[in-house]
Amino acid sequence: MPSNYSEETIRTLDWKEHIRRRPGMYIGKLGDGSSRDDGIYVLIKEVFDNSIDEFMMGFGKKIDISISENKVNIRDYGRGIPLGKVIDVVSKMNTGAKYDSKVFKKSVGLNGVGIKAVNALSSYFCIKAFREGKVKSVEFSKGTIIKDNQLEDTNEKDGTLVSFIPDIILFGNYHFISDYVETLIKNYTFLNSGLTINFNGKSFYSKNGLLDLLNENISSEGLYPIIHLVGEDIEIALTHGKQYGEEYYSFVNGQFTTQGGTHLIAFKEAIVKTIREFYNKSFEPSDIRSSISAAISIKVEEPIFESQTKTKLGSKDIVPGGMSVRNFINDFIKKELDNFLHKNHDTAEILLKRIHESEKERKAISGIKKLAKDRAKKASLHNKKLRDCRTHYNSKDERRLETTIFITEGDSASGSITKSRNVTTQAVFSLKGKPLNSYGLTKKIVYENEEFNLLQAALNIEEGIDSLRYNNVIIATDADVDGMHIRLLLITFFLQFFPDLIKNRHLYILQTPLFRVRNKRHTYYCYSDDEKENAMKKTGANPEITRFKGLGEISPDEFKNFIGKDIRIEPVVIKRDDDVPKLLSFYMGKNTPERQTFIIDNLRIEEDVA
């Protein structure tokens, strides 16, 4: 019987109820903190953006942040919110000072929404404004005022303190990963030279902006010293390495635009155009940009982002009626990069040599590329290697951040995940046996090897990760020796040929339970021996204990518990001090005496523990 559609069915939600019912519109996905774009980090960013805007306007050179037991405290030393408007700023939609471009020029937050989303999505939220010897503080729970404190005298310096605890009802059993928070903080310092940010006892500061950012993030030395160019409202840094792929860090008004936008498109075009004109050669764009590591930051008045999470710039103008983003970036790079290359002949020669090497390799694999593409198309149509989902990362669907592909091995494991997955956002790719060890091989093998070719096609990353079909690429293998080996082989493949997939935090390992402990009333899934012991205490005498030996042994009904909202995933992370070539050589290269000694020593450790 269809529902009755009448006046009584029409509802108007108040601001906090709308945010809590539709959090995706305001912070993207919720998540539990395993992924760097999970909502709890967006909440931190929304508060931080306000403090950064104060710094950019010349007020306050220090920001303090601490996180303890899931409570976040962020204190800036800016002007402080006008005391009579503290409640309005955090609880009335479309209220703020950023509609006045004279007060906040080139800021990130323009809609007056972010801080209100933090308030509505937190079980506890407190804001304190310090201004001219007075302090006003208000406490909220889920957007509702629970304590409106009277104005008091204070000796504190001007500024704002925001404290909040994300609501466990919405975010589940979440946890903050310090590395993700530190990455966020470092990006703020790289883009705001002179700003000091203190986080849980550590201090972060950058003197050289994007030059420091690239030095921090590239996994090995560039082929030539980083080119660092700074102009009014624009800064770029770039170098080329020996790795495959293209790696970009793009920012607008201090906001890390992880999905790029008009400014990154313009940057890529300008690099190609300038280098072609400098060498007077019609090089292929892919040859020019192959193995590039680059960063661009621009400042725009009234930027237009494609969503509230501000991960992609949509603006086409620098100012309304002014120069376009494309022309602004192109003119700067054409002049400054061309001048730099004319003055630095050694860098120009190294760059030319790298372009020729890319051209040579591209031509070497061009013959097998078409055949490989045809094979991938045929396979995707006629076999079951890829069970796709309906939403993709490069769409405008608000669920794009949840898009996931599980890379599994064997029919039973892929079958269980396929039957229990969310077909809207979760896809499955099934490997046939163990992948090839790709260490030391050229990219030619990606097209010659059927498994690698089909995996590349499934992810849609042949031309780089701009067209990546899934935000989360999750390796789902058994927690045994063979499963660990497959993980290593896949990570080696991505490190060798698509390192930006890892650097941009898209690659994860699925954690699945080792044990099931249950009695007639309760069932507990345990991921370690300690969790098993605790579960046994909770269930009492003689519980039924099952040891899962492989993913294929877990029924589809049970698998829903492990790949749904309570999914446990471990990110694959490359840090600046990780010597990737050395690591790959040691673990995936020839079986040297050093590696044999390492294996023997660690086997002894396991025996001692046992």
Q: Which residue has the higher pLDDT, 370 or 245?
A: 245
Q: In Å, what is the CA distance from 442 to each residue of 353, 361, 364, 439?
A: 18, 9, 10, 9
CATH 3.30.230.10: does it fit domain 210-361?
yes
Torsion of CA 482, 488, 491, 493, to 10 degrees: -90
Q: Is the dihedral of CA 413, 414, 416, 420 positive or negative?
A: positive
Give, rounded to a whole angstrom, the gap between the first and last alpha carbons of the chain: 63
Residue 19 CA: distances (Å) to CA of 25, 260, 433: 8, 26, 46
The tens digit of pLDDT for each residue in 243-291 reads 888 888 888 877 787 777 788 889 999 999 999 999 999 999 999 998 8
**From the centroid of its chain, how far is CA 403?**
13
> Would the pLDDT of 98 be above 80?
no
Closest to 458 in 3D by CA, of 511, 371, 381, 396: 381
Nearest Cα to 264, choosing from 234, 239, 286? 234
383-512+550-578 is classed CATH 3.40.50.670: yes
* Rounded mean pLDDT, 40-68: 90
DSSP 511-537: E--SEEEE-SS-EEEESSHHHHHHHHH
Query: Is pLDDT above 70 for 547?
Result: yes
Asked if pLDDT for residue 119 goes beyond 70, the answer is: yes
C-alpha span between 464 and 550 (Å, rounded): 33
Under a CB-based contact definition with an 8 Å cutoff, are residues 237 and 297 in contact?
no
Mean pLDDT of the 66-79 span? 94
Contacting residues for 593 by C-beta, under 8 A, at least 6 apart: none
Q: Token pair for residue 265?
A: 């498109």
CATH domain 15-205 topology: Heat Shock Protein 90 (3.30.565)
d(CA 230, CA 210): 9
Nearest CA-CA partner of 475 in 397, 571, 564, 381: 571
Instruction: Count other Cβ atoms within 10 Å, centred on residue 583.
Output: 15
Coil, helix or strand at residue 153 = strand
In whole angstroms, give the CA distance from residue 593 to residue 590.
9
Beta-carbon contacts of 458 under 8 Å, excluding residues fewer than 6 positions away, are 380, 385, 386, 405, 427, 429, 469
> pLDDT-derived band of residue 205, with 50, 70 and 90 as boundaries?
very high
Measured CA to CA, the distance from residue 498 to residue 462 in angstroms comes to 9
pLDDT score at 399: 82
Q: Are 265 and 238 in contact (CB under 8 A)?
A: no
**Secondary structure of 420-437 in HEC code, one letter for each residue:** HCCCCCEEEEEECCCCCC
pLDDT for res 11 = 55
What is the reported pTM? 0.73
The more confidently predicted of residues 204 and 371 is: 204
Of the two residues 98 and 563, the one the predictor is more confident about is 563
What pLDDT is stored for residue 576 in this prediction? 60
* Torsions phi, psi for 296 (to 5 deg): -140, 135
pLDDT at 353: 95
Across the range 28-48, mean pLDDT stands at 87
Read off the pLDDT of residues 291-340 as tens digits, 9 standing for 90 and up.
899 999 988 776 665 554 555 665 555 544 466 888 889 999 999 999 99
pLDDT at 602: 64
- For residue 305, what is the DSSP state? B
Residue 232: CB atoms within 10 A of its CB come to 7
Of 160, 186, 170, the residue nearest 36 (C-alpha) = 186
Q: What is the pLDDT of residue 319?
A: 47
Residue 262 main-chain phi, psi, to 5 deg: -60, -35
Facing residues of 69 across strands? Answer: none
What are the backbone dihedrals phi and psi of residue 350, each rounded to the nearest 5 degrees, phi first? -65, -40
424: nearest Cα among 473, 470, 476, 474:
470
List, for residues 493-518, the tens digit of each pLDDT value.
998 888 888 888 899 999 888 888 99
Closest listed residue to residue 163, CA positions, set 124, 129, 200, 134: 124
DSSP category for residue 4 = P
Contact, 405 vs 472, CB < 8 A? yes
Judged by average pLDDT, the poorest of 116-130, 173-187, 250-264 is 250-264
pLDDT in tens, 1-17: 455 655 555 555 677 88
- H-type helices in 57-141, by residue range? 86-91, 114-120
**pLDDT at res. 100:** 39
Q: What is the DSSP letter of 313?
A: B
Contact 572, 583 (CB under 8 A): no
Q: Which pLDDT value is given to residue 316?
A: 58
Cross-strand bridge partners of residue 148: 138
The answer to whether residues 141 and 163 touch, using CB atoms and an 8 Å cutoff, is no
Burial of 168 (0-12, 13-18, 19+ CB in 10 A): exposed
pLDDT band at 439 (very low <50, low <70, confident <90, very high): confident
Whether the CB-CB separation of 456 and 446 falls below 8 Å is answered with yes
Boundaries of every domain in the chain: 15-205, 210-361, 383-512+550-578, 515-547
SS3 content of the chain, % helix, strand, coil (to 5): 40, 20, 40
Tokens 């390992």 label which residue? 509
Mean pLDDT check: name the lowest of 94-98, 381-385, 475-479, 601-605.
Answer: 94-98
What tokens were used for 229? 């160019």
Report, as an integer, the average pLDDT of 116-136: 93
- Section 362-389 average pLDDT: 71
Residue 585 has pLDDT above 90, yes or no: no
pLDDT of residue 219: 64
CA dist 408 and 419 (Å) reads 13
Q: How high is the mean pLDDT of the chain?
A: 83
